[in-house]
Amino acid sequence: MPFKTVLKLLKMFEKNDENKIQTTIRKDELKMYSLMMAWSYKFWPFINCLSTSLAFWFILRKKGINTELRFGVLKDGNKLRSHAWLEYDNNILSPDERAIQKYKSFTQAIL
């Protein structure tokens, strides 16, 4: 399914958040969400970083936590690799934060 279509579907289920209070989360909660993302990779190997990041972006947004969806690229020999992850208050929400640091992130968040 195209990325724009997925975004439209996610936003259809999103409540009107004009009056939504921005919630903050603690460091231990950040670690919990990173662990949950790692488990999703382990137990559902057919999913990828983008689908996982979008799912958690949606879940956290419903809780009033605004995260940023980031894309990055990495040149690996003759191949160009890409990766998607979430950031909250400049903290990376990913099972492997060190691996993400290898990727060159776009200057602006996608979401």
Burial status of residue 4 (CB atoms within 10 A of its CB: 0-12, 13-18, 19 or more)? exposed
What residues contact residue 31 under an 8 Å CB cut-off, 6+ apart? none
Q: Yes or no: say if 71 and 87 are a contact pair by the CB < 8 Å rule.
A: no
Please give the Cα distance from 99 to 102 (Å, whole number). 6
Cα of first residue to Cα of last residue in the chain, in angstroms, is: 18
**In this structure, are residues 93 and 34 in contact, taking their beta carbons and an 8 Å threshold?**
yes
Residues 59-82: tens digit of each pLDDT: 888 888 888 889 999 988 899 988
**What does pTM read for this prediction?**
0.72
pLDDT in tens, 83-107: 888 888 888 877 667 777 888 888 8
